[in-house]
């Protein structure tokens, strides 16, 4: 697939032309694939995708975060090009996200940035090993038992048995966002769709393992006062209602940053990627300033 999309914004083509490295790490018997941008041996970010997604949802975002930082996006097990497992859970995925950070070139405690289910993974990570993280940023993630993707699958409204399409073009015609979202940057949508499938016997199919929808629940989702800094980006047209947001605010603690992204759907990186980048950068700058003051000698 070409890295240059017809009629794509200049920033998009520049991002996809940015140098990227790929690698893999064995985590509890599964090969976990990752992509990495920016200077190795630098402080960094681990980008954690949502359910049924994969690392390449971040291809147009990660390079814009990589100035002076190492940015790593992984495929959680059961997603993308990583191995499938017999069973899935948020704790295992949290361990995978932490495990890739150092081998992928991040120096020191990473910041986790997680979207939707990836935000739940990041919040569980904050509960499990927050002292090993520089902070977590959650993107329109309902920190509760199930994500919208899992609810849709369980109610058989989406993500049924994976189909095999005879051609790549036919598969692309059937690509849909869950929950539905019509407002997109077309080049971003096309890139995400094209990188969400692989050639299999008889045609083309999606990369995720449908079994991940039956993942185990986690008591850590209900935990309060996470053991590291928290920031939350709420999409104006997303899936987090006022009651859910107030419940999460109470659990996040009084120092958590909560920011609304105007005119954004749940898949913020697809319709408002530049606003998302500004938000992530701003929080990182705020935390850097906080660290520099805290680290100053008396």
pLDDT band at 157 (very low <50, low <70, confident <90, very high): very low
> Domain of 43: which CATH number?
3.40.50.1820
Strands 44-48 and 70-74: parallel
User: Is residue 11 one of the residues assigned to a domain?
Assistant: no
User: Is residue 46 one of the residues assigned to a domain?
Assistant: yes
Q: What is the DSSP letter of 165?
A: B
Rounded CA-CA distance 141/268 in Å is: 11
User: Is residue 279 one of the residues assigned to a domain?
Assistant: yes
Tell me which residue range forms the domain holding 117. 22-292
User: Is residue 5 one of the residues assigned to a domain?
Assistant: no
User: Is residue 254 one of the residues assigned to a domain?
Assistant: yes
> Would the pLDDT of 3 be above 60?
no
With beta carbons less than 8 A apart as the criterion, state whether 46 and 69 touch. no
Q: How many domains does the chain have?
A: 1
CA–CA distances in Å: residue 243 to residues 34, 118, 121, 248, 262 = 35, 21, 21, 9, 19
User: Is residue 77 one of the residues assigned to a domain?
Assistant: yes
User: Is residue 7 one of the residues assigned to a domain?
Assistant: no
pLDDT tens digits, one per residue of 227-276: 999 999 999 999 999 999 999 999 999 999 999 999 999 999 999 999 99
pLDDT tens digits, one per residue of 39-83: 999 999 999 999 999 999 999 999 999 999 999 999 999 999 999
pLDDT-wise least confident of 141-150, 154-163, 183-192 = 154-163
Sign of the four-CA dihedral 180, 280, 217, 160: positive
């Amino acid at each position: 697939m070409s890295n240059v999309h017809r009629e794509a914004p200049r920033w998009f083509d520049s991002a996809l032309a940015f140098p990227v490295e790929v690698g893999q790490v064995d985590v509890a018997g599964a090969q976990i694939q990752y992509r990495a941008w920016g200077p190795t041996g630098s402080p960094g970010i681990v980008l954690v995708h949502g359910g049924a997604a994969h690392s390449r949802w971040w291809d147009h975002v990660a390079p814009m975060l990589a100035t002076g930082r190492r940015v790593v996006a992984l495929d959680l097990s059961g997603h993308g090009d990583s191995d499938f497992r017999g069973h899935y859970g948020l704790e295992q995925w949290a361990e995978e996200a932490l495990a890739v950070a150092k081998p992928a070139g991040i120096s020191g405690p990473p910041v986790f940035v997680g979207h939707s289910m990836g935000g739940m993974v990041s919040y569980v990570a904050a509960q499990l090993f927050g002292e090993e993280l520089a902070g977590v940023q959650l993107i329109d993630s309902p920190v509760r038992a199930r994500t919208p993707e899992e609810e849709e699958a369980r109610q058989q409204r989406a993500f049924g048995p994976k189909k095999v399409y005879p051609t790549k073009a036919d598969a692309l015609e059937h690509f849909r966002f869950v929950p539905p979202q019509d407002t997109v940057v077309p080049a971003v949508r096309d890139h995400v769709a094209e990188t969400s499938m692989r050639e299999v016997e008889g045609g083309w199919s999606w990369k995720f393992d449908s079994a991940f929808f039956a993942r185990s629940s986690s008591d850590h989702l209900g935990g309060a006062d996470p053991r590291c800094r928290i920031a939350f980006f709420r999409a104006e047209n997303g899936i987090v209602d006022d009651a859910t947001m107030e419940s999460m605010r109470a659990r996040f603690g009084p120092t958590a940053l909560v920011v609304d992204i105007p005119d954004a759907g749940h898949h913020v990186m697809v319709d408002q990627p530049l606003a998302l980048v500004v938000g992530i950068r701003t929080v990182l700058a705020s935390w850097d300033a906080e660290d520099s003051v805290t680290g100053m000698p008396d």
